Chain A
C-alpha cells in the first residue's frame, strides 16, 4: 500500500487537500520529482526503479510519492513545495534544472531533507548526487573499437555540456586504444528527448559511414534506426535491448537503487548528512546492460577486464597521456584527470571530428 501514484494535476489536488497525510502517520514519507514520464524507458524510468527498490527494501517503514513530467522552472518549485508542505521528510529532485527550486524550498523547510541529482549546490539540508557515467563509456568505447569495421563511430549528443563532452572523450580514448584508426563523428541534436531528430541524426551518421551509433540522448529511436539498417548501437540510461535486439551492443545503465535505499536508511537511523556523492561502476551506480550475444567472447572478456580495472583503481577513464585535437598533451603521462577537470571538460580528445560548440 505504500505507493501513491499521482500525475501533476492529481498531485496538486491530493497534496493540497492533505489526502496523503492520512495514509501513514508513522512512516517516513519520501517524495520523488521526475523531469520526464516514468514510462520514458530511460532517465526518469531508471529513477523510478530506484523508488521501487526503496519500497521493496523498506516498504514497512516508508511511503513514497512521485510526480512525473515536472517542467524545470517555476512549476518545479511549486511541486517540491507541495511535497515538503504535505509531510514528506525526504525529497529527491532528479534533474539538473530542479537545482535552484530545490534550494529555495529547502530554505523554507529546514526540517525536510533534500537530495538533488546532477547539481552542485548544497545546503545544510540539501545533498547532491550523480553518476560517473563516463566510466561506462570507457567500457563501451573498448567494445566499439573491437566491433567497428568502417572505423567510423557516430555519436549523437544532446547538449554540449561537460557531462556529455566528457563522455565522448572517455569513449574515444578507449576506442582508439583498441583501434587507433577509428574516429568519432558527433551530431548534436540540442534536446534530451526528441525521437524524430535522434533518428534523423542516426541516419545521417550511418549514411556517412558510421557502423556503430552511440547516443547521449534518452529515446530508443537511434537503436531502432540502427537495427533497421543492420548496424550496431549503444543504449543510454537503461537497457534498451528490446528496441533493437540485433543492434544493441549494450547500454550504459544508471542504477540508483542502492543509493536511494542507503539514503532513505540514513534518514531513518538519523545518520543523514548533506554530502556529495559521485558514484561510478565501483559503487554500482553505473552499470552495463547485458552484452549482445553476438559480441565475441574475447571482446566481452576485455570489457569485463576494463570494468574490473576501473573498480580496482588500476585504470582511470582519463589517464595520461591524453592529447587534445591539436595534439597538445592535456593530461600528462602518469597523471589522471582531476574531478574538476572532468566536471569542466569543454574540449575534444584526439580522434573526435569537429569542434565542441561554444
Chain B
C-alpha cells in the first residue's frame, strides 16, 4: 500500500478520534459562556461512559444507552451545579472534586461490566459517496454519532449568537449583576447550562465506551476531559474553532501512530506526547494575543453569584 492511500484512513480515524472531544468541548463551551467554570468534564465523561455502556449491555439498545449517558452526565453535573450555584462552593475546587468523584463512581458502577464485549454502532454506507476515493470513508462512512457531534457545532453557534436565549445566556456570563437587575434568573440559566454541559460530556464518554472502543475499562477516558477543557480556551469560546481544535488533536493523535508503524525514527514517547504538546503550544500562541482572549472570555467566568448580595 502506498503512503498516499493512507490519507483517507487517517482522515477517517481523525474524525472519530475527535468526536468525544468535540462533544465534551461544546458542552463546556456553553457552560463557560454562562459564566461557570466546571473542571469536572473528565468525571462526567466517565460516568456517561459507564452508564451508557451498562444500559446498552442490559437493554441491547444503543439509543437508550446514549440517552441514559446524557442523563447520567447531566445528573453528575447537577451535583456540581447545586454545590457551586446554590451553596456557593468554589468552582475550581468543586470541579476537581467532581472529576475524582466521577473516576471513583464510574469504577464502582462498572465493576460488573469489565470485559463484556459490545458491538459498536453500524457505519454508514451511502453507495457512491462512501466509495469516493480518499475522502469517501472519512466524510460519508462514519457512524451517526460522529455526524451528531459535527451537527451540534452550528446548532450551538446559532443558539449562542442568533437566539434570544443565547443572548441572555451570554449576558449572564458577561455581567451577572446587570443580567440579574434586568430580571433574568441568573442561577436558573446557569443551572441549565451546567446540565447541558454534563449531558454533552456524558455523550462524549459514551461514544468512547459504546462505539470507539466498545468496552468498559476503568478510567478509559484517560485525560480526554482535560483536553476538552483546553480546547475551549484554544477555541477562544467559539464553537467552530472548538471543532477545528478537536480535529487537530485527533489528527495528531492518529498521525503519530502511523509515523511509528511506517518505521520513521522518532522516539515513541515523544510521539505519544505530541498531541498534548500541540495543545499546549497552540494555547501559548493564542495567549500571546491577550486582547483576543479578553474579548471572548466571559467576564464573569468562575465568579460566584448570589442574588441577594
Chain A 176-219 per-residue mask, 1 if CB under 8 angstroms from chain B, else 0: 00000000011111100111111111011101111000000001
Cβ of B217 under 8 Å from chain A: yes
How many of chain B's residues touch chain A, expressed as a range?
35 or more
Q: Report the Cα distance A333→B17, complex, angstroms.
A: 48
**A199 pairs with B260, CB closer than 8 A:** no
Minimum distance in angstroms from A314 CB to a CB of chain B? 34
Partner of A190 from the list B212, B254, B263, B268 (CB cut-off 8 Å) is B268
CB distance from A253 to the nearest CB of B (A): 15
User: In the complex where A204-B13, A204-B258, A207-B10 touch, is A188 in contact with B268 (Cβ < 8 A)?
Assistant: yes
In the complex, what's the smallest C-beta–C-beta distance from A315 to chain B, in angstroms?
29
A151 to B59, alpha carbons, bound, how many Å?
41
In chain B, positions 93-149 with a C-beta closer than 8 Å to chain A are 111, 114-115, 117, 120
Within 8 A of A (CB), among B216-273: 217-218, 220-222, 224, 253-254, 257-258, 260-265, 267-269, 272
> Is A228 an interface position by the 8 A CB rule?
yes
Q: Considering the chains assembled together, what is the distance between the CA atoms of A188 and B221 in angstroms?
A: 19
Establish whether residues A39 and B215, one from each chain, have CB atoms under 8 Å apart when the complex forms.
no
Are B213 and A199 in touch, CB under 8 angstroms? yes
Flag if A187 contacts B267 (CB, 8 Å). no
CA distance A207 to B222 in the complex (A): 24
Q: Quick one: which of A205, A219, A243, A353 contacts B217, CB cutoff 8 A?
A: A219
| CB interface residues, A 275-294, toward B, < 8 Å | none
The answer to the question of B9 belonging to the interface, with a C-beta cut-off of 8 Å to chain A, is yes
Complex CA distance for A357 and B117, rounded to whole angstroms: 33
Return B104 CB to nearest CB of chain A, in Å.
10
Asked if B1 is at the interface (CB within 8 A of a chain A CB), the reply is yes
Is the beta-carbon distance between B261 and A154 smaller than 8 angstroms?
A: yes
Q: Which residues of chain B are near A187, meaning CB under 8 Å?
A: 257, 260-261, 268
Of the candidates B6, B208, B254, B260, the one whose C-beta lies within 8 Å of that of A188 is B260
| Cα A355 to Cα B271 with chains together (Å) | 14
Contact B261 A185 (CB under 8 A): yes
Nearest to B111 among chain A residues (CB) is A39
Determine the residue in chain A with the shortest Cβ distance to B224: A196
A60 close to B (CB within 8 Å)? no
A185 / chain B contacts, CB cutoff of 8 Å: 261-263
* Contacting pair B1 A224 (CB below 8 A): no
Looking across the interface, which residue of chain A has its beta carbon closest to that of B266? Answer: A357
CB distance from B278 to the nearest CB of A (A): 16
Which of B120, B214, B265 neighbours the largest number of chain A CB atoms within 10 Å of its CB? B214
- In the bound complex, how far is the Cα of B265 from the Cα of A220, in angstroms? 28
Q: How far is the CB of B125 from chain A (nearest CB, A)?
A: 14
Residue of A nearest to B9 (CB): A207
B38: min CB distance to chain A, Å: 23
Are B220's CB and A201's CB within 8 A? no
Mark out the residues of chain A between 125 and 178 whose CB falls within 8 Å of any chain B CB in the assembled complex: 154, 160
Residue-wise interface mask of A (85-113) relative to B, using a CB-CB cutoff of 8 A (1 in contact, 0 not): 00000000000000000000000000000
Task: List residues 210-238 of chain A with CB under 8 A from any CB of chain B.
Answer: 210, 219-221, 224-225, 228
Tell which of B220, B254, B258 touches A195, judged by Cβ atoms closer than 8 Å.
Answer: B220
Contact assessment for B217 and A193 in the assembled complex, using a CB-CB cutoff below 8 Å: yes
Which residue of the partner chain, among A40, A209, A242, A358, contacts B114 with CB atoms under 8 Å? Answer: A40
Q: A190-B269, A203-B13 are in contact. Are A39 and B114 (CB under 8 A)?
A: yes
Write the nearest CB–CB distance from A172 to chain B, whole angstroms: 13
A97–B253 alpha-carbon span in the complex (Å): 28
Within the assembled complex, what's the spacing in Å between the Cα atoms of A243 and B118?
9
Q: Is the CB of B262 within 8 A of A353?
A: yes
A354 touching B222 by the CB < 8 A rule?
Answer: no
Asked if B117 contacts A220 (CB within 8 A), the reply is yes
Q: Are A209 and B213 in contact (CB under 8 A)?
A: no
Say whether, besides A37-B218, A199-B213, A354 and B272 are in contact (CB < 8 Å).
no
Task: Say if the beta carbon of A78 comes within 8 Å of chain B.
Answer: no
CB within 8 Å for A186 and B260 given contacts A195-B215, A219-B215, A357-B267: yes
Asked if A41 is at the interface (CB within 8 A of a chain B CB), the reply is yes
**In the bound complex, do residue B261 and residue A41 qualify as a contact, i.e. CB atoms below 8 Å apart?**
no
Q: Using Cβ atoms and an 8 Å threshold, which residues of chain A touch B214?
A: 224
B120, A354: Cβ atoms under 8 Å?
no
- Provide the bound-state CA to CA distance between A26 and B69, in Å: 50
Nearest CB of chain B from residue A161's CB, rounded to whole Å: 13
Q: Which residues from chain A contact B6 at a C-beta distance below 8 Å?
A: 207-208
Nearest Cβ distance between residue A131 and chain B, in whole angstroms?
Answer: 22
Least Cβ distance of A160 to chain B in Å?
7
Chain B contacts of A193 at CB under 8 A?
217
Which residue on chain A has the smallest CB distance to residue B265? A355
Say yes or no: B208 contacts A208, CB within 8 Å. Answer: no
Contact of A208 with B258 at beta-carbon distance under 8 Å, contacts A41-B114, A354-B263 already known: yes
Q: Could you list which residues of chain B lie within 8 angstroms of chain A, going by C-beta atoms?
A: 1, 6, 9-10, 13, 17, 111, 114-115, 117, 120, 208, 212-215, 217-218, 220-222, 224, 253-254, 257-258, 260-265, 267-269, 272
Q: List 17 A-B contacts (CB under 8 A).
A: A40-B115, A186-B261, A195-B213, A196-B220, A200-B17, A204-B258, A204-B260, A205-B261, A207-B13, A208-B6, A208-B258, A209-B1, A219-B217, A224-B117, A353-B261, A353-B263, A354-B263
**Given contact pairs A41-B115, A201-B257, A243-B215, a sample of 10 additional A-B residue pairs in the complex whose CB atoms are under 8 Å apart:** A160-B268, A186-B260, A188-B269, A190-B269, A193-B217, A195-B217, A198-B213, A205-B257, A207-B10, A357-B268
Which 10 residue pairs across A and B have the least CB separation, nearest first?
Answer: A354-B263, A353-B263, A207-B9, A188-B268, A204-B257, A39-B114, A41-B115, A209-B1, A199-B213, A195-B213
